Amino acid sequence: MWSKSIFVSLALLAFQCTVSDAERCPDGFTYRKDTMSCHKDGDSISPWVDAAPNDASSPDSIQGIGAPCTTGKDCETFSADYCAVNPMAGAGFCTINDCEPGDCPATYTCCDCRQSSLVDQEEACIMDQYTEQLQALAGCTC
């Protein structure tokens, strides 16, 4: 009896794992195996991996915003002490959370992901180049 239920469970699991790359993303997005994430068609930037820290000389800069990270520990020494991680890529960038519109520096937008089941349920300043992806794939409001 147990061996039969294990076999059925394994068969169902294998069936669920047969999603093609074309079926992984909504219209207008393409799945990339190298980052294990969906990219907006025509976008050549890897999501949240190619981030560069904001120029500290900018008057509206936040120390460390945009620095690459994989965990919050990577951001502890910055004012931008929250690590916004793309769960499919396992990497992200340092930013601030608990933001409100107007709190983020130029080229960043405050996104509310508190209702998302795919990313951390936070409000955070997200690079403008990724807001459309967060809205389409994770259900965030930016």
The whole-angstrom separation of Cα 1 and Cα 9 is: 12
Distances (CA, A) of 23 to 20, 32, 47, 111, 122: 5, 12, 19, 26, 28
Nearest to 117 by CA among 98, 139, 96: 139
Please tell me the predicted confidence (pLDDT) of residue 50: 44
Write out pLDDT tens, residues 11-30.
444 444 566 767 667 777 77
Give the three-state DSSP class for 48.
coil
Please tell me the predicted confidence (pLDDT) of residue 10: 37
pTM score of the predicted model = 0.61
Write out pLDDT tens, residues 63-120.
999 999 999 999 999 999 999 988 777 888 999 999 988 889 989 999 999 988 777 8
